[in-house]
Structure 1
Amino acid sequence: MKIIFAGTPDFAVPALAALIEAGHQMVMVLTQPDRPAGRGMKLKASPVKVLAEQHHLNVYQPETLKDAAVQAHIEAANADVMIVAAYGLIIPTVVLNMPRFGCYNIHASLLPRWRGAAPIHRSILAGDAETGVTIMEVVPALDAGAMVSRGVVPITESDTTQTLHDALSNIGAELMVQAMATLEQQGTLPATQQDETLVTYAHKLDKSEAAIDWHKSAIEISRQVRAFNPFPVAQGMLKDAVCRIWMATAKAGKARAGEIVSVHDGVTVGCGEGLLHITELQAPGGKRLSAQAFVQGHNLQVGDLFT
């Protein structure tokens, strides 16, 4: 089939790669414009653009899809279907209606739970037992389209946003290839409407959410740490300096909130309820370190306080 693929970050790369491997014709790859990145703030291509150019595909990077000339250019691609995976720009209804078979999206949650910008983060923060991917029709309302298929992934106490991101992007790619095979054979994709009474919203993350309140339970703080890995990274104050905490799990016990009670085989800190066992930390200007290396390098001792 002739496909327009719309995606930008790493999450979308496995899907584009899988669709190319499946033999579909990518008539256009829509991705966001190159953005300044790194210390030199040089323009950097999106991960999707990098892959598309490796395969010599037609890459189109408009700032908006609302412009009439942009819409005419997309329509001229004469696509059978558009596939969206974390594209990041609003797709007007007129563009959604251009492809013969419509437009389908890879969404990183089990809809209707966690519509919106940060579904993986919110699922961990909420303590969900599982998450997943939903292949859905794209409609003008946010993540409200009918559901074609989905894949479920359990959330363990060691999962971070990064580990779930990687798992979900690969599952989404597999599900989309299966969906396109069905669409090509049958000319239609059966879909189920979402139950609007079960909708929850995954609001965009705010950097202020990264600050740890040590009076919360260890379970809540562990979820915060894992949800904010790799960004924006949970943090507390240690010896008057910001300390970023990359990995931690909750364990039973009782101690004053913020007090380090053990530096053996990890850094264990008291919380409002339970203990937080930290295994990876980072000092300002330093590298991510194992707890053991951090303890040795920063002379961390029992009785020191996180605030």
Structure 2
Amino acid sequence: MRIVFAGTPDFATACLRACIDSGHHVVAVYTQPDRPAGRGRKLSPSPVKQAALEAALPVRQPESLRDPAAQAQLAAFQPDLLVVVAYGLILPRKVLAMPRQGCWNVHASLLPRWRGAAPIQRAILAGDAETGVDLMQMEAGLDTGPVLLQRRTPIEAVDTGGSLHDRLSLLGADVLGEGLRRLFDGSLPAASPQPEAGVSYAHKLDKAEALLDFNQSAAALERKIRAFDPWPVAEAEVAGEKLRIWAASVIEGQHPQRVGQIVAAGRDGIDIACGEHTLRLHALQRPGGKRISAGDYLNARPELRQPTR
């Protein structure tokens, strides 16, 4: 088959490799235009573009696929299948109708739960016990298409946004590879419509969400810290200083201190009173500094040391 692949971030690179390794002909790779990045704000290619160039594949970077010229260029590749993984651009109906086998999407959730932009982080934030990846036949709605194949994985108590991202990326490549094999040999099951019940939306992450509100439960804050690692990274006001929080745990039990106050601080961590239970900070980062342990932070601020409960 002639495959056109469309994707942008690192999550999509494993799926691109799955297409290449499938033995089918990847005739073009579509990705978003180069964006400014780093301190110098120089234009930087997307991870998918870098992977495509390393594989000597043609790369196209239109600002939009609504442009008739961009649509004509895509049609000229005569794709049998368009595979879309975290591309970031809307596909108009005319584009969806181009490939003979339609358009496939690899989505990092168990649909219809967590349709939208940030399904990995939203699943952790919500305390979901499991997640997965769906290989979906695309249609005009946002992640509403019928599901062809699915892979599931538990969300472990230690999973971060980064660790779950990496695991789901590989699962996505696995389910896509299976889909391509089964499409070619005629064993691909019919797509199953998504159930109407259980729909939820994973809205795009906003950096403003990163600030921890100690009026919330310690469990909810601990999930946020894991979900926002490696981006945008949770932040908190601790003893008059704004810190980035990289790792924490929940200490159950009541405390006499007001919400947001330090309950105890020592070698094991810094305990902060929350709306429910206590949050123990293990790894943090001062403005302009690097990630350090709570113990190292207390070495710089010994006045905060209190007997650990």
Deviation digits for residues 122-155 of structure 1, max 9, x if unmatched? Answer: 1111111111111101111000000011111111
Cα displacement (A) at 1:176 = 0.2
Contact kept, 8 Å, 1:135 with 1:149, in 2: the verdict is: yes
Match of 1:146 in 2: 146
Deviates more, 1:63-72 or 1:118-127: 118-127
Distance 1:70 1:160 in 2: 38
List aligned pairs for 1:116-131, cutoff 5 A. 116-131=116-131
* Matched residue, 2:240: 240
The one-letter code of the counterpart of 1:65 is: L
Query: What's 1:77 paired with?
Result: 77
Shift of 1:82: 0.6
| Residue 276 of structure 1: how far off its partner (Å) | 1.3
Deviations 1:140-172 (A, max 9, x none): 100000001111111122111111100001000
What is the CA–CA distance in structure 2 between the aligned matches of 1:55 and 1:141, rounded to whole Å? 32
The residue that corresponds to 1:251 in the other structure is 251
Residue 166 of structure 2 is aligned to residue 162 of structure 1: no
Answer yes or no: is the 8 Å Cα contact 2:179–2:188 preserved in 1. Answer: no
Change (3 A) 1:135 1:259: same
Q: Who is 1:112 aligned against? A: 112
Aligned to 1:294: 297
CA contact (8 A) 2:49 2:59 kept: yes
Asked if 2 retains the 8 angstrom alpha-carbon contact of 1:263 and 1:300, the reply is no
**Count of residue pairs brought into register by the alignment:** 304
Residue equivalent to 2:185: 185
Aligned equivalent of 1:263, options 253, 260, 266: 266
Change in 2 beyond 3 A, CA 1:76/1:279: same
Tell me, in whole angstroms, the C-alpha distance in 1 between the residues paired with 2:214 and 2:197. 35
Structure 2: gaps spanning 5 or more residues: none
State the Cα deviation string for residues 52-86 of structure 1 (Å, max 9, x = none). Answer: 00011000000000000100000010111010110
| Kept after mapping to 1: 8 A contact 2:134/2:148 | yes
Tell me the distance in 2 between the aligned counterparts of 1:37 and 1:202: 25
| Deviations, residues 23-79 of structure 1 (Å, cap 9, x unaligned) | 221101000000000010000000000010001100000000000010000001011
CA distance in 2 between counterparts of 1:172 and 1:158 reads 21
CA contact (8 A) 1:158 1:249 kept: no
Instruction: State the identity %.
Output: 49
Match runs of 1:7-46 below 5 Å: 7-46=7-46
Q: Secondary structure at the match of 1:198?
A: coil
CA contact (8 A) 2:225 2:248 kept: yes
How big is each residue's C-alpha offset from its partner over 1:196-225, in whole Å with a ceiling of 9 and x where there is no partner? 222111112222211111121110111111
Q: 1:298, 1:51 → 2: CA distance?
A: 45
Give 1:168's aligned amino acid: L
Deviations 1:251-278 (A, max 9, x none): 2133322233132222222211112122
RMSD: 1.6
**Residue in 2 aligned with 1:215?**
215
Equivalence for 1:277: 280
